[in-house]
Chain A
Amino acid sequence: QKEVEQNSGPLSVPEGAIASLNCTYSDRVSQSFFWYRQYSGKSPELIMSIYSNGDKEDGRFTAQLNKASQYVSLLIRDSQPSDSATYLCAVGSPGGNNRLAFGKGNQVVVIP
């Protein structure tokens, strides 16, 4: 089983709609969870950090964490064409070496 899985294929959403991305992880003792956005040809950019169960909102982004079920999700409200990118789920390694395990990413395309 991969450490971090993002299984859905490319996600197309109309402008103004909600984009929903899901991620599961295998290490039950993981404590830190992140979402990164990566535009084509650019490096990843941190958009959300979450450490506790529940929801965390930042602008149009909401991260949701459920440690019991080992999943973390990202909602993008009022999707804009500028949100079109690949979104990477990352989980902190409990081993203390500050490493992150990344999912393969989900491509989001917002259609004007």
Chain B
Amino acid sequence: GAVVSQHPSRVICKSGTSVKIECRSLDFQATTMFWYRQFPKQSLMLMATSNEGSKATYEQGVEKDKFLINHASLTLSTLTVTSAHPEDSSFYICSASAGRNQPQHFGDGTRLSIL
């Protein structure tokens, strides 16, 4: 149980392109979903927290107009990297939690490379 699906797994695109990443909880309802970014050999960095039907809460230093998050249902959240540039290249990982004191279950991540 507790499967989180994240697509696509890898994206390579030109600078200026917008990229959409989907995160789905397949066998549970996720009250909260999270988006992380991780650079090589570094720790997970939380970008934003999203709850179904409400605006995402962004961490300090994360541009909300750059990283658009939509949490349309209890099983789906999307992250759109708008007008991506090479410095946005990273490993983006979503996670989902079924509720308070519950673990976060992670998707497989999306490796984004902007040329």
Residues of A within 8 A of B104 (CB): 34, 46, 90, 98, 100
Q: B75 at the A/B interface (Cβ < 8 Å)?
A: no
Q: A44 at the A/B interface (Cβ < 8 Å)?
A: yes
A99 near B46: Cβ-Cβ < 8 Å: yes
Residues of A within 8 A of B109 (CB): 42-43
Answer whether A49 and B46 are a contact pair too, CB < 8 Å, given A43-B93, A98-B32: no
Q: Most A CB atoms within 10 A — which of B2, B91, B103, B106?
A: B103
Nearest to B34 among chain A residues (CB) is A99
Q: Which one, A43, A46, A88, A98, contacts B31 given CB within 8 A?
A: A98
Question: For the complex, would chain A's binding face be called helix, strand, loop or mixed by DSSP majority?
Answer: loop
Nearest to B111 among chain A residues (CB) is A41
Q: What are 25 A-B interface contacts by the 8 Å CB criterion?
A: A31-B101, A32-B102, A42-B108, A42-B109, A43-B93, A43-B107, A44-B44, A45-B106, A46-B103, A46-B104, A46-B105, A46-B106, A90-B104, A92-B101, A96-B100, A97-B32, A98-B49, A98-B97, A98-B99, A98-B104, A99-B34, A99-B46, A100-B103, A100-B104, A104-B43
Residues of chain B in range 1-47 having any CB-CB distance to chain A below 8 Å: 2, 6, 31-32, 34, 43-44, 46
Answer whether A51 and B101 are a contact pair too, CB < 8 Å, given A43-B107, A44-B106: yes
Interface size, chain A (Cβ < 8 Å): 23
How near does chain A come to B8, taking the closest CB pair, in angstroms? 14
How near does chain A come to B10, taking the closest CB pair, in angstroms? 11
How near does chain B come to A106, taking the closest CB pair, in angstroms? 12
B105 near A98: Cβ-Cβ < 8 Å: no
Answer whether A97 and B49 are a contact pair too, CB < 8 Å, given A31-B101, A32-B101, A46-B105: yes
How near does chain B come to A93, taking the closest CB pair, in angstroms? 9
Residues of A within 8 A of B34 (CB): 99
Answer whether A98 and B44 are a contact pair too, CB < 8 Å, given A42-B109, A43-B93: no
| Complex CA–CA separation, A44 to B105 (angstroms) | 8
